[in-house]
Amino acid sequence: MRHNVGVTIPTPRFRLPVLGDVLSIDADKPTQRELEMAAELGPIFERKILGHRLIVVSGADLVAELNDESRFAKFLALPHRKLRALGGDGLFTAFNSEPNWGAAHRILMPGFSREAMRRYHKVMTDVAFELVEHWNTRAGRSIDVTADLNKLTLENMARAGFGYSFDAFVRNDDEFVAAIVRILGYVNRTSNDMPFMRVFRRGDRIRNDRDIAYVHGVVDEVIEKRILDDSRHDDLLDLMLHTPDPETGELLDRVNIRHQVLTFLVAGNETTAGTLAFALYFIATHPDVAAKVRAEVDAQHWSAESVSYEDVSKMRYTRSVVDETLRLWPSAPGYFRKAREDTSLASGRYPMKAGEWAFVLTLGLHRDPVWGADPEQFDPDRFSPERAKSRPAQAYRPFGTGMRGCIGRQFALHESVLTLAELVRAFDFELDEGYELNVQESLTLKPQNMRMKVVPR
């Protein structure tokens, strides 16, 4: 991104010769650091690390331009390129030019239809009930709720998408989730490393390679088990194994299926678990919000101890709690966009050459002035129909944008609202005394070391 003479993009203070803005790096919390910088420098600013240039954009008007699919496309920046060691040409980490991305997208779209979501609902209610039972055995004790929510979302995705269970609430073996968390953390920590740091990270790199090999082996076992099964299943894995691409007539290859399964297990697990954990934090710290959610949940028609598929969409306030949670702490804190051809932002103020790119800081976008004078406050009523109509749609992008946005958005939202309803119906939540929200980054966001007491209602 280049700019006209006389138009200066703000930069961090204390830029050093050659090294650039290395003093602005926070390897543990990179996007939260950029949120602080956006508050100081404004809706667009520039960082340089060893000559590598990064433009960070958070203003709603500028983001609306970057989201224009006719002018900009998804860009696979360094963190996501490093993640290709795990997910290859899966939906999230594929380059735009790789044909398997488009083929998988076309093949998998029916897997997120209304009919498919009805099938997944039964799985989600079963898994939510297992978590409720698990917490009932620990009532009154301090629980690592984020870890247990990771188990829930992993089970939902594995069972609904691939007919496989990790038996997460029965076994004490959390190695698969732990390996995923370590891989994401490694990518997050090393994306801004200086070249000399690679010497000191040799042990981490060996562990990361071992984690990737382990996770690949687990997923290959899931696929192999299905191939040996003569029966057919109405799920994502069956679609990938047996459905030809409607454009080419070809099936996905075995390695790409592994990449797609991993994409769903990683993205569907980490992101929704974080969203639910943040939502429980806000419910525990906002008694008025908790009371409204409980009243709405209790008013539903519960059959066989579970809410129906149709009733999930009727819980509009609970959905607003999920939406507001994703506004303040979106699971994916940002995404990258590159220019398809020579263009500019802000009516020619910031010219961009074809191929140049910028980072949309969703954390900052969701705190833009269009959200009002109190964007740091948790207020689900922001998503009432009246208030939602008063702001631009492009100001809210927790699932990315365009064709490369999250294909599993409806799955994640249904899972979040249903699970939150089941948990709030069963329990009151009390944060451990003295806990203050500490947000962990490992490409996704989640509360760190958050423990709660769950008290049966």
DSSP state at residue 53: E
* CA 378, chain centre distance (Å): 19
The residue from 93, 125, 190, 271 that is catalytic is 271
From residue 55, how far is each of 10, 128, 337, 394 by CA, in Å?
Answer: 10, 41, 10, 19
Task: State the Cα–Cα distance between residues 254 and 339, nearest whole angstrom.
Answer: 33
Instruction: Note if 271 is an active site residue.
Output: yes
Task: State the Cα–Cα distance between residues 349 and 99, nearest whole angstrom.
Answer: 35
Closest CA to 1 of 36, 45, 31, 35: 45
Give the phi and the psi of residue 314 in degrees, each rounded to 5: -80, -15
Q: Coil, strand or helix: which one is 257?
A: helix
The residue from 72, 162, 264, 399 that is catalytic is 399
Instruction: Note if 399 is an active site residue.
Output: yes
Instruction: Note if 406 is an active site residue.
Output: yes
Give the phi and the psi of residue 49 in degrees, each rounded to 5: -125, 110
Task: State the Cα–Cα distance between residues 209 and 82, nearest whole angstrom.
Answer: 12
What is the residue whose two structure tokens read 């979302």? 153
CB 177 within 8 A of CB 154: yes
SS (H, E, C) 26-40: CCCCHHHHHHHHHHH
CB 317 within 8 A of CB 292: yes
The residue from 406, 411, 427, 444 that is catalytic is 406
Q: Which residues are catalytic?
A: 271, 399, 406
